Amino acid sequence: MKRSHWLRFISSSLLAILLIHPAVASAPVGLASGLNDPVSVQSTMTASAVVVPAQVARLGFLISAIAREVPVKEGDAVKAGQTLMVLDTPDLQFEVTAAQAALRSAQVYADLQKHRRVENRRNGKVFYDVVPAVIRQRADAQVQQAQVTLELAQIDLAEGTLTAPFDGTVASISVIPGEFVPSDQAVVMLATLNALQVETTNLSERDITKVKIGAPVNISIAALNENFTGKVIDISPRADTVGGDVVFKVTIAFDKQPQNLLWGMTAEVTIEE
């Protein structure tokens, strides 16, 4: 066979193969050899992080006074509603006592009006009638007003007592009994040290769009020399600026709370996309 005929034969064969199996020529690079399924490439984001409590509260008073009692100390575990500090507020206590006395007096007067009789003469005869309804209503209104006054005095007195808003551990106390406590100043810090989580510190704005709630996370704690698993539970809607870089805070919960973990330990996290 001549060379020209041989070349025409090879070209025709190749054209026939392409026409019969076009997918052979157009198969994407991402296909694995001999397979029809694409090769999945999963990306991850890595960031530095810090261990923090799930809840932290810095507590203070709305009024100013001398600290009378601090029944807890740093490190104590407390329950929600437990007293943390009491101010010395004799004037507020007096108002409560006076309001209680006024309520008792108003109640006695109202009860008296319900049973009291007034003398009336009709057709030359003497009748002992109940007091007019308007008088009884006025006495009942005085009771209600005294009750409201007492409740307001009790609310004012309660402002002198600081209680725990949730179960936690007393992380710090900044005053002792006998010291003056100004209003609107944090005097007790409460934290959930038995429920710690992780917050990223340098996750960039380029990576935040790839992070989703519920994404699995690998957490490396250098101080414990261990790796743990967790998941993303919160993504801050607002950016922070750290060293001139725009970063977003991502909060990560442990799948299982590690032992010996402490507030402030550093971590490295790898978040799966």
Same domain, yes or no: 179 and 200: no
Average pLDDT in the chain? 85
Element (H, E) at 246: strand 245-254
Q: Work out the burial of residue 154: count CB atoms within 10 Å of its CB; fewer than 13 is exposed, 13-18 middle, 19 or more buried.
A: middle
pLDDT of residue 118: 60
Give the span between the Cα atoms of 48 and 261, in whole angstroms: 17
Is the distance from CB of 250 to CB of 232 less than 8 angstroms? Answer: yes
pLDDT of residue 244: 86
What total of structural domains would you count in the chain? Answer: 3
Extract the tokens encoding 267. Answer: 């971590």
Distances (CA, A) of 70 to 3, 111, 115: 106, 43, 50
Domain boundary pick from 191, 208, 230: 191
Extract the tokens encoding 135. Answer: 């008088």
Same domain, yes or no: 28 and 49: no
Distances (CA, A) of 190 to 61, 71, 172, 202: 14, 14, 7, 26
Same domain, yes or no: 201 and 126: no
Quickly state the pLDDT bin for 68 (edges 50, 70, 90).
very high
Domain boundary pick from 122, 157, 191: 191
Give the span between the Cα atoms of 253 and 201, in whole angstroms: 15
Domain hosting residue 128, numbered range: 56-191
Give the span between the Cα atoms of 229 and 220, in whole angstroms: 9
- In this structure, of 28-32, 115-119, 159-163, 251-255, the range with the lowest mean pLDDT score is 28-32
Quickly state the pLDDT bin for 6 (edges 50, 70, 90).
very low
Same domain, yes or no: 233 and 132: no
Residue 99 pLDDT more than 80? Answer: yes
- In this structure, of 96-105, 167-176, 187-196, 239-248, the range with the lowest mean pLDDT score is 239-248
Same domain, yes or no: 166 and 62: yes
Same domain, yes or no: 139 and 70: yes
Give the span between the Cα atoms of 87 and 181, in whole angstroms: 8
Residue 29 pLDDT more than 90? Answer: no
Quickly state the pLDDT bin for 127 (edges 50, 70, 90).
low
Same domain, yes or no: 180 and 62: yes
Residue 12 pLDDT more than 80? Answer: no
Instruction: Give every CB contact of residue 158 below 8 A, 6+ residues apart in sequence.
Output: none
Same domain, yes or no: 256 and 211: yes
CATH number of the domain within which 112 lies = 2.40.50.100
Is the distance from CB of 163 to CB of 85 less than 8 angstroms? Answer: no
CATH number of the domain within which 238 lies = 2.40.30.170
The winner for highest mean pLDDT among 43-47, 208-212, 251-255 is 251-255
Residue 20 pLDDT more than 60? Answer: no
Is the distance from CB of 217 to CB of 229 less than 8 angstroms? Answer: yes
Q: Are β-strands 125-130 and 266-272 bridged in parallel, bridged antiparallel, or unpaired?
A: unpaired
The 3-state DSSP class for residue 244 equals: coil
